[in-house]
Amino acid sequence: MSAHGASITLKGLTKRYGTATAVDAIDLEARPGEFLTLLGPSGSGKTTTLNMIAGFVDVTSGELLIDDRPVHSLPPHKRNIGMVFQHYALFPHMSVSENVAYPLRQRKVPKAERQALVTEALRTVGLAHLGHRRPQQLSGGQQQRVALARAMVYSPRVLLMDEPLGALDKKLRDSLQLEIKRIHGELGTTFVYVTHDQDEALVLSDRIAVFNDGRIEQVGTAEDLYERPSTLFVAQFLGESSLFHGVATEGADGAGVRALDRTLRAGRGHARAGEPAALVVRPERIRVHPIDGAAADQAGVDQSAPAGNAVRGRVRQEIYLGNSRKLAVEVADGTQVLVRESAGDLSGSRPGDEVWLTFRPEDAAVLPATPSHDNTPTRTAN
């Protein structure tokens, strides 16, 4: 069984239900053989977009092309697309092999060829020894593998997956993520995957499109989105972020935010000077320096403000995470700033301690505090 992926191009793709807009004139491209994830909260438009690609939902306006061929008017079974749903949708009265063979029977594939394709599909998902069983005799993870085998058995050039791991427990979900990633590498099929789970998106994807309120906020690799978010929504939805709210500044030393009676500098940013903005920094990039009490004495640190970006606050909460710990530090305006310290590099600070928080400008970005209404997503050079 082999396949190679098709390109998928969305141009101004829109879906309206009466006066409600579910998907608002989005532009997006999935490259041949790419694993593209549509990530966003419930109601953001990602599943509607997937269903328009599949042909289950009609397009209100815009263009939808597969390998540069318009497919708006084609029914789902003529688009050569495989589909994996969250709830398996297996036939309980059929064996595993019969379930996987079903789309081949619908396509009138000869029996001998059909058997060979089913065997290969079950081998690919690691279920070659369970073809005789019924779905109810399998675990949830095994049933999802059967659904995946059924979707790919006829070598579609596009495979769509709608939160396929959402019903599974975390340990099994983590295991199947690696299996899906392996299968994608073997097949070379274009995968378009919908999820609201940011960790899942980071593990699986070549690129991620972040959806919000029917629009795409940003498209890029996991590293692009995590290290260089272009909007506050992306910064807060994909991973954790600590925010310092204020007014954007601009000077010879780059972008900054005037907040907490000081100017905090950032290595990048696109907020306009004088407008409300937030300086964004990831919790693991912030360092904690005790400034009073036993922790300060033990650490032997200077209690005066460190040079560069430094904000004073009080530790309000400590959360033990095994290989790391998380601190919630309240600063002067009442904002809770999150800090993540690795187990091998703890500051010694405890709830109630006063501390300085420091971070490098190159680890921070200044972003507008209000969302942009431009439908064009921010893209990376990848």
Domain boundary among 161, 192, 227: 227
Lowest average pLDDT, out of 166-170, 220-224, 330-334, 372-376, goes to: 372-376
82 shares its domain with 145: yes
In a domain, 113, yes or no: yes
Lowest mean pLDDT among 199-213, 271-285, 293-307: 293-307
**62 and 194 fall within a common domain:** yes
- The CA-atom distances, in angstroms, between 44 and each of 41, 213, 214, 227, 288 are 6, 5, 5, 23, 36
Which positions ≥6 away from 74 have C-beta within 8 Å?
55
Please, what is the angle between helix 96-106 and helix 140-152, to 10°? Answer: 20
pLDDT at 294 over 80: no
Containing structural domain, residue 331: 240-368
From 118-132, 294-308, 312-326, the region with the lowest mean pLDDT: 294-308
190 shares a domain with 275: no
Distance of CA 211 to the CA centre of its chain: 9
Same-domain pairing of 223 and 301: no
Q: Which residue has the tokens 């004088």?
A: 274
pTM: 0.87
Cβ-proximal residues to 203 (8 Å cutoff; 6+ apart), any chain: 177, 178, 181
Whether residue 356 lies inside any domain: the answer is yes
- ∠ CA 101-105-109, nearest 5°, is 100
**Total domains, the chain:** 2
Q: Which position has the token pair 């360092």?
A: 287
The count of other CB atoms within 10 Å of the CB of residue 148 is 25
Give the CATH number, domain containing residue 304: 2.40.50.140
Pick the last residue of a domain from 193, 227, 261. 227
Report the mean per-residue pLDDT for the chain: 89
Say what the pLDDT of residue 3 is.
Answer: 54
In a domain, 71, yes or no: yes
Residue 173 has pLDDT above 50, yes or no: yes
Residue 93: band (very low, low, confident or very high) from pLDDT cuts 50, 70, 90: very high
Pair 222, 286 in one domain? no
The CATH number given to whatever domain includes residue 64 is: 3.40.50.300
Question: Do 192 and 78 reside in the same domain of the chain?
Answer: yes
Please, which residues bridge with residue 251 across strands?
254
Q: Do the domain assignments include residue 373?
A: no
227, 250, 267 - which closes a domain? 227
